A and B are shown apart, each in its own frame.
Chain A
Amino acid sequence: MRKLLLVTSAIAVGLIFLVRLFYLQVYNSDSFNILEDTAIRAEYNYPKRGYVYDRNGKLLVANQPSYDVMVIPREVTPLEPSEIKDFCNLLGITAEDYEKKLTKATNYSPRLPSPFVPQLSKADYAVLQEVMWKYEGFYIQKRSMRSYQTDIGANVLGDIGEVGQKEMNKDSYYKLGDLIGKQGVEKSYEDILRGVKGIRFIQKDRFNKNIGPYKNGQYDTLPKPGKDITITIDSELQAYGELLMKHKRGGIVAIEPSSGEILAMVTGPSYNPNLLVGRERNKNFSRLFRDTINMPTYDRGLQAQYPPGSPFKVINALIGLQEGVVDVNDRFSCRMGYYYGSRKLTGCHHHRSPVDMNQGISQSCNAYFVNVYRRIVDKYDDPGVSMNKWAEHAKSFGLGNFLNNDLSVGRPGRIPDGDYYDRAYGDNRWGSTYIVSNAIGQGEVEATPIQLANMAAAIGNRGFYYTPHIIKNIESDTLPSNFTVPKYTTIDKAHFEPVVEGMFDVYNEGTASTLRIPGIEICGKTGTAENFVKIDNVKTQLTDHSIFVAFAPKDNPSIAIAVFVENGYWGSRFAGRMASLMIEKYIKGETTRKDLENWIFTHSLENEYKKPYSGEPFRINGETQLQLIENYALKD
């Protein structure tokens, strides 16, 4: 027995130690991760973010250096109150901010870097750099900040900001404090613009001193600079469009039909992209995003789904021709509206009657299109079958679905089909008369301005379109085929000519005859769409939306455009004028009709937009007065 005490003790201790080692090194091991090892600091080297040019080579977005003060909470040595005061003075924060920021950073992670004070100016950086060694655990991270060379196109260009938790979870490339594209092309071309950051692993000692590269830098990488991109926007046209849109709400989208390139993408109201740069960014960002009335960050050109109104009539004309239910020479009479029995299904305005297709389009006759539409829906015994066909045709124009392009936001719009109504009314328990509003672009049909512009491009091309896109060129790269292969509509080419003639006559003798541009053959279609909001749970009608869709020139069009002005009353009143000016500006490079231009500049719709919030009853449409902008400096 006496012999065994020490032997058994030794063996027992050995076993206990092996178990402990197993627990420490195998069971509970923080498996070695170079980024989490506190003995190694990863220093990031951020590459230059790619520049953004417009289609004419004008630089829109460049970079400027920015300096973030970063903190690794675990390495911070407690500072004396006087030291904290000095430090805070340099950073331009208060002592409470200091504690708050430090606690926040500690809560995120005591050992990973968090941004402490982001985006210092160059002057602040120069002063701070001298004394930074005094404050252990803090260091300055150089990054690149955007420098906008323009005041326009906030919705197009977008902005960059600190990554959020969701983005970090999705892609481990991003670390806290990194910048990422938040909106616009900054978001959709983030991967190309950002490049790849370089990383340097530095071995530290326990006093947090660098003692050289980790493993002679064998894991280090060099930054890869971001690629420059050229976007399809014509910045002059964009700027002009934004000028026209001032004091109005709505969107303008202009597309080059022969390529699908987006020439201009205006939303109103918008903001200056420079607001989202630098230390004021956070303040401005929340101000812009919390403005739920004006919604300046909501891109109405891409996201607003409006009833398309009369421009949608041409689609019904085309479907009618394709389905063989109407001939261009078929005439329908109009008695200031369409009557079903003695019931008036839709009203119409005063024009000659009866009308054929050409006049139906140019005069925008509601009765004509209800007739055509009813023939389409009644073609088959089951209206569901007819409506599915109808929807298929309409969708081939890029309506009713996401365009699947390279814009950071978008909406599908809505093209109802037979199944939609079967669900709504019950199988076969509905007929053409239930849904005649679709004939004139009201009812269930909805579209975004970019979809309408694309529709105009498809008509201008006589039956095909290229997916509208914003990218024109990526430095040393090619464009995806999605943007270079035409998409054909389900309508035969031959059917387009009479419809295009009708749209041409809109300008010649129809609803937009006052908006002709000398020397340019424009085809277009006015639109006026009723719309409603809920005010205190009461459905209330607002002044109609003013809509215009056009392309020019008539043959081989170089521009297709959709203009949507909320509560602008009738098509040619605001949208038509603006479309006409935009087309002239793009094709001629200048505008000749200064009185037309000044009318737009001097007329505001702000009073219309205030009405639903006024809390008082208000009048709409013909019973309203336009608001004039006084002291508007007339441009020469």
Chain B
Amino acid sequence: MYRETQRRFQFDWIIILIFLLLVTFGYLNILSASHVGEITSYFDTSQLYGKQLIFVGLSFVLIILILSLEAKFYERFASIIYLVAILALIGLFIFGKDVNGARSWYGIGSMTIQPSEFAKFATALAVAKYISDIQTNMKTLKDQVRVAAIIFIPALLILLQNDAGSTIVYLAFFFVFYREGLQQVYLIVVLSLILLAVLSLKFGVTITSLIAAVVLLSRYFLRKKKRSSIIQYILVLALAIGFSFGVKLFYQHGLKVHQQNRISLWLRLEKDPLKLEQMKKAEAYNLIQSEQAISSGGITGKGFLQGTRTTGKFVPEQETDYIFSTVGEEWGFLGSSFVIILFVALIVRILYLAEAQKSQFSRVYGYGVASILFVHFTINTGMVMGLIPTVGIPLPFFSYGGSGLWGFTILLFIFVKLDSNKINEW
């Protein structure tokens, strides 16, 4: 009896509170972004806000289910859950349904389910399971390759289904690997590659190569002790130049036109005013509308259900990927800052708890959760505010959609459950 009461209060109520705030606030904004004319009934399931209310209700059923299972269950069945998720992704090629050019959905009656949303927590579990194995050492190449394979399989499948946005999310696991012992050089390489890619696109291959050469040479001459041979430096430089060429080639030939234009808009590459005008009507349209909506909110916003641009449906996809623009318009600087702070607080709280875990499985999983939320939050919000090129991924707990909401709910509450179990893990 005593044990029972104690366990009930072991859940981290801060995370749960933030979750409730995000979901509620998200629902209100979906209501605003999706209603047409008078709202006759909040449970009108022909309307998106009515459906979302059902999704929210069901997510509570899921939470109860997750929390009532034994914590050990997740560790034990991690591989099986991962396998089911992979099979579900593969099944899409046969039974899937095309929506907006991406084959990411199963149609069950009038409902649709997007397995990639569930593949995230499955992958997080699998990664946690593999890394927490006593024999795994993240510093060895063998394990690095294996763990990379765990995330590459779902990422590749999703990419093949034409959902590039969701693929990018799997890069989040880099944070997990780095925390679990991946060598520093990977971080440097990743950062250098990102820098090289941006430089190549913005300033061209020649200038980028020169910059790389200067950086490498100065490093060579400044480093008197333990200086590796000049051949190595030249090799690195050659690789950098090769990468730079590769990025340029990939940008010009590997990307679809709309992807190319999104990047071109972000880096302000296009100078032809005629083409820019065209882009404003196509790729940039959403972004411009979204920024205008946010900007028009001012400090306090126009008020719930009072956003003129939201009511007029000026921002396409507003209830899904662009939901943050509704927050910006109707709740202003105060409301949108509140959302930003909630997300950062949620991530920081998860990381804090993850570090406090006794079991490595729980810690790695916690890191996975925080990383996935971080990438979603950064890319989505950054895109809506015009800081990051357009990538179509939802804002966790906010964007309309059952699969998304449930996927994130499961992801988060498995961690809540694991965390609540930490004293039993002696």
Q: Which residues of A contact B (CB under 8 A)?
A: 2-3, 5-7, 9-11, 13-14, 16-18, 20-22, 24-26, 28-32, 37-40, 203-206, 211-212, 214-215
Contacts and interface: CB of A to CB of B under 8 A. Distances in A.
A9 B190 CA distance: 15
A40 B382 contact: no
Contacts of B179: 2-3, 5-6
A25 B374 contact: no
A25 B308 contact: no
Contacts of A30: 292, 295-296
A18 B338 CA distance: 10
A213 to B, nearest CB: 11
Contact of B178 (A2, A11, A22, A28): A2
Contact of B355 (A3, A5, A28, A37): A3
Contacts of A11: 344, 348
Interface stretch (B17-25, B228-236, B310-318): B310-318
B318 to A, nearest CB: 10
Contacts of A22: 333
A486 to B, nearest CB: 58
Contacts of B341: 14
A276 B371 CA distance: 73
B294 A25 contact: yes
Contacts of B306: 215
21 contacts: A3-B179, A5-B187, A6-B347, A10-B344, A10-B348, A10-B351, A14-B344, A17-B340, A18-B340, A21-B337, A24-B291, A24-B385, A25-B297, A25-B332, A25-B333, A29-B297, A29-B298, A30-B295, A203-B311, A203-B312, A206-B289
B150 interface: no
B378 interface: yes
B236 to A, nearest CB: 23
A10 B346 CA distance: 10
A26 B312 contact: no
B311 A211 contact: yes
B381 A17 contact: yes
Contacts of A205: 312-314
A88 to B, nearest CB: 24
Interface centre among B187, B312, B371 (most CB of A within 10 A): B312
Contact of A26 (B298, B348, B355, B387): B298
A416 B348 CA distance: 87
Contacts of A214: 308
B370 A6 contact: yes
A25 B299 contact: yes
A17 B385 contact: yes
B298 A25 contact: yes
B343 interface: yes
B95 to A, nearest CB: 35
B385 A20 contact: yes
Contacts of B294: 21, 24-25
Contacts of B347: 6-7, 10
A206 B302 contact: no
B323 to A, nearest CB: 15
A32 B374 contact: no
A617 to B, nearest CB: 64
Contact of B385 (A7, A10, A21, A32): A21
B308 A39 contact: yes
B333 A21 contact: yes
B296 A37 contact: yes
B308 A203 contact: yes
Contacts of A211: 36-37, 311-312
B336 interface: yes
A39 B311 contact: yes
Interface string B354-390: 0100000000000100110010011001100101000
Contact of A206 (B314, B328, B351, B374): B314
Nearest to A9: B374
B152 interface: no
Give the top 3 A-B pairs by smallest Cβ distance, nearest first. Answer: A14-B344, A39-B308, A25-B333
Nearest to B285: A206
Contacts of B336: 21, 25
Contacts of A13: 344, 374, 377-378, 382
A509 B341 CA distance: 102
B175 interface: yes
B348 A18 contact: no
Interface centre among A21, A31, A206 (most CB of B within 10 A): A21
A39 B37 contact: no
B336 to A, nearest CB: 5
Nearest to B299: A26
A203 B328 CA distance: 19
Given A5-B175, A6-B351, A10-B344, A26 B314 contact: no
A10 B328 contact: no
B348 A7 contact: yes
Contact of B295 (A9, A14, A24, A38): A24
A16 B295 contact: no
Interface string B278-307: 000000000001011011111100100010
B309 interface: yes
Contacts of A24: 291, 294-295, 328, 385
Contacts of B344: 10-11, 13-14
A24 B294 CA distance: 7
Contacts of A212: 37
Contacts of A39: 308-309, 311-312, 314
Contacts of A26: 298-299, 333
A523 to B, nearest CB: 71
Nearest to A214: B308
Given A3-B355, A21-B385, A26-B298, 5 more contacts: A5-B175, A13-B344, A17-B382, A29-B297, A39-B308
A139 to B, nearest CB: 17
Nearest to A207: B313
A33 to B, nearest CB: 10
Contacts of A9: 175, 374
B280 to A, nearest CB: 11
A259 to B, nearest CB: 55
A6 B175 contact: yes
Nearest to B187: A5
A31 B298 contact: yes
B301 to A, nearest CB: 9
A16 B387 CA distance: 10
Given A10-B374, A14-B340, A14-B344, A206 B387 contact: no
Interface string B255-293: 000000000000000000000000000000000010110
A9 B382 CA distance: 14
A15 to B, nearest CB: 9
Interface string B158-176: 0000000000000000010
Nearest to B351: A7
B387 A20 contact: yes
Interface string B225-251: 000000000000000000000000000
Contacts of A10: 344, 347-348, 351, 370, 374
A40 B309 CA distance: 9
A37 B178 CA distance: 48
Contacts of A28: 295
Contacts of B299: 25-26, 29
B33 to A, nearest CB: 13
A32 B348 contact: no
Nearest to A34: B308
B359 to A, nearest CB: 17
Contacts of A38: 314
B398 to A, nearest CB: 14
Contacts of B387: 16-17, 20
B328 A25 contact: yes
B374 A29 contact: no
Contacts of B381: 17
A533 to B, nearest CB: 57
A214 B311 CA distance: 10
Interface centre among A3, A11, A39 (most CB of B within 10 A): A39
